[in-house]
Amino acid sequence: MNGSVYLIGAGPGDPELITLKAVRILQTADVVLIDDLVNPQLLGHTRADARIIPVGKRGGCRSTPQAFIQRQMIQEARNGNIVARLKGGDPFMFGRGGEEIVALREAGIAVEVVSGITAGIAAPATLGVPVTHRDWAPGVTFITGHSREGNEVNWAALAATRTTLVIYMGVKNLPDIVGKLLAGGLAEDTPALAVQSGTLAQQREVKATVATLHAAMTAAGIGSPAIVVIGAVADLAQIAAHTESVAKAA
């Protein structure tokens, strides 16, 4: 008999920001496929005899091919195992969970999604920033800064929405993204924020305007993995005084 697969969101990094359901499933799993950005402390919830398989995927680094991950899950489930696919954040928020659930269903494998807290909400929240606000942001757009060729983001259209823009995987392409937003009519003094390693002890952040954000990040040494927030709500960020001074200097 086939086993089953759980696509589990591990949350944004803080090991306490994982759901009780995710912990319960980890305690029963025979095999755990763990992403690179998952806090390794979460493996403390697994069985002592569970097999742990690292399947890291990091931009700019050597990564485990997605096709291999999917084949591994299918094979382990066909061997009768309970498989936990442990992903940073939420499985369906830029985590390729959509690709995996399709592959598993096509293979006839039972699969369940266990949602997790995504960094795009949790990271700005650590600084008191709500991604929506009925006076300043009628909505929020979660967007990738690293889109696949042929499926490029229309940044000019996003500039006109007046929604908070929360950009994942956007550090490398930020100058180009900002240029397109400004060309689309976004004001240069629009508040902006970047949070690196959000919710973790090593979290770092910088607050600026959209026009000065990249320079402020460079001056502060902030890089990936980072969440970028652009919109009026970013002005609510309460950050350390030394980080403020870096942003102003930039």
Active site residues: 35, 57, 169
As given in the structure block, the two tokens for residue 175 are 């100058």
**Are the C-beta atoms of 27 and 45 separated by less than 8 Å?**
yes
Q: What is the total residue count of the chain?
A: 250
- 41 Cβ neighbours under 8 A, 6+ residues apart: 15
Kind and range of the H or E element at 123?
A: helix 119-125
For residue 11, list its beta bridge partners: 89
Quote the CA–CA distance of 245 and 250 in Å, as a whole number: 9
DSSP 68: H
Quote the CA–CA distance of 127 and 123 in Å, as a whole number: 7
- Nearest CA to 35 among 89, 71, 98? 89
Quote the CA–CA distance of 208 and 243 in Å, as a whole number: 10
